[in-house]
Structure 1
Amino acid sequence: MDSASSTFDNLLDDLSDLALSYKDTRDSLIIALDFGTTYSGIAYALTTDPEKVFTIDSWPGGDRNAPKTPTALQYGSGSVTNLKWGYELDRLEGEKIQHIKLLLDPEQPRPYFIPTNIEAEMAKLPKPVVDVASDYMRAIFEHAIKEIEGHFLVPELLHNFDKQYVLTVPALWSDKAKDMTSRAAEKAGISPVDMITEPEAAALFTLKDVKNKGLKVNDAVVICDAGGGTVDLISYEILSLAPFELRAITKASVMVAFPGAVAGSSMIDRNLEEEIRKAVGMKRYQNALKEFAIAIKPGFRGKDDRDKYLSFPMAKLEDNPANGLVKNSMTLSGATMFRPFEPIAREVDRLVGEQVSAVKIERLQASPPNPNGVKAIFLVGGFGSSDYLAKAIQNSNPGVTVIQPKEA
């Protein structure tokens, strides 16, 4: 679950529940890390006021508040201790270490934008992958602690709280990968840690206010968490509203790679990279992609959509009308946007359809049979915010409500 537009709210409800569970013991600070393929985020709550959950939105090197920071780092020349991470790398030359999370489970299928030669990729690391992951976790947590201290009138009061940690992991993470992730966290001083799967975290947040979404006991829902590197899907039945209880109807399914592509927003960014690089060159495309991800991608509606524009102020670029570049501004037509969006949306739509069918079959085979199918489909994650994806899934499921929760 990892994209720039997606916040750590996927864990907020679970984080609040965990804070409540510690309420009868010494006051605790609960810190949750969404360790993503491309972006990571942190949220926290205090057991003294567990209903209030805060997110970290200020990051080193960042030029704006954002709920997440890139999951990337770079060691200084000849050093394995001096490092820069996250948005700090935007202004640095040289090779970045990215997609650390996927290297923790080499047996998982690779998204197409990750090198397939895992041995070669890991051999380039300056230290074991567990230590690299640990360095990133330590950096992001130390920054988070400084930010949290800033919320106290007397920062030293923070030391009076016990610390508890929550960490998201993919649904199909192997036991070996879970152990490596746990060891990386422990090396970073993050212990003890409770792990929660990404689909569970998404479901807990998405369904925390089911009554206001028109849902009731026995309704079935599909959660589709379409992030930057993967698409996670799972279906639940609502057992109770107070206390809130769910039952998984289907097994979690995770799409990391499909023929030649990845079912996630990183694929879209990569496809558009080719369009942009032709027009502006390698150095400027990264800033363009950032603007695209924040301001353009979520609102795309189809190939007949109106033109969108990416500006390159003071770039002094030569006009290239064939590629839509005129006066340092690049035009992205609906047709240009449609090419990378359509195959991914089609594949995600197929995956959602499989979940809808599985729920229908499971319920009809129950005793007694339940003729009711899926009531709602929730789209969360970076690509889950796409208007185009929501429209495609709604068209395929006309009797089902498609919901895109805000800040999910």
Structure 2
Amino acid sequence: MEVERIRSLFPILNQEINGKPLVYLDSAATSQKPLTVINAINDYYREYNSNVHRGVHTLGTKATDAYEKSREKVRKFINANSLEEVIFTKGTTAALNIVAQSYGREQLKHGDEIVLTFMEHHSNIIPWQQVAKVTGATLKYIPLQSDGTLTLEDVQKTITTKTKIVAITHVSNVLGTINPIKEIAEIAHKNGAIVVVDGAQSAPHMKIDVQELNCDFYAFSGHKMCAPTGIGVLYGKKHLLEKMEPVEFGGEMIDFVGLYESTWKELPWKFEAGTPIIAGAIGLGKAIDFLEEVGLDNVKAHEHDLVGYAMQQLSEIDGITIYGPANSEKRAGVLTFNINGVHPHDVATVLDMEGVAVRAGHHCAQPLMKWLEVTATARASFYLYNTKGDVDRLAEGLLKAKEFFENVF
């Protein structure tokens, strides 16, 4: 993969932070955007800004065409069976809430089980907690191994005939663990449950085929995959979406409105109330073009190489604890760590002074932090524009942080 050429396509990377060339290692929070995506959004606002679907004038037609072409790009990107299965949302969180509030509230009853894991992002815990309170369903958690992975034996033990929903992340945003979604879905379906996948950390980094995974719902965000903020996708199997009620109501999603009753549009528009995120969807379509030109298999291989190199470099520094699978082939491009005795916020501050951007905190995964027996961690996350030189800068910055706090205390 021509990383230096790829880097040149991201304008934001060509700058200095605190007098040092920027090393951006926070793509799990949000990725940077290539010029092609920035230009596509700019072109929309400069040349054909208009609302979609209802207008018959030239600008409206052009905007609608671009918006719906992006939906088709998403369909191909994840290999959905039809356009009706691709719903544009504000992001992963909004998509998961649609499933919880529409499907979950309607289908669950007292005594039913919702199965999660300890590695879930809050966005895939809190909606299910709220649904459980309303319906009387019970939350259960698949236990983790000491390295932050799941075993299919534990999955089989946790999922029972009472289980109606299994909600699971494809890739942990903290541990980088890649979960065996296809095998988990098979177990869930044998027990009569449906599977909801948080794909926020997988869709940007590996080839996704929802039909092969056989998941029932799959959610992801554009801003983590070179697209703008504020746009995301909910994939759902058509037969499930058809029997679900919308959770937002208003314009665009209606067919007929009377004084006392209304009817909804067909899929996917019945879930897209109000003026949609037009520029975001167009930007997402262009980001998909970009990622497919690079090749998702190439992105995945590059990140595995980087995270393996980073694990080696950081493991050579005394006093650093790395969390998650020791085998880099079992994890995506996420590396979470702590320096013994140093708060991760302090580590991130020192790294920022060196021009290295990492994330510090609980990463919206407080139950996982409790399982790890820490309050917070530092996290470096890699993407297609990162290099081994970036990893070297990270390691150098951590040595400086370690030395600084040893001398201070």
Q: Is TM > 0.5 for Structure 1 vs Structure 2?
A: no
Return the structure number with greater helix share. 2
Tell me the TM-score normalized by structure 2.
0.30
TM-score (normalised: structure 1)? 0.30
Greater per-residue strand proportion? 1
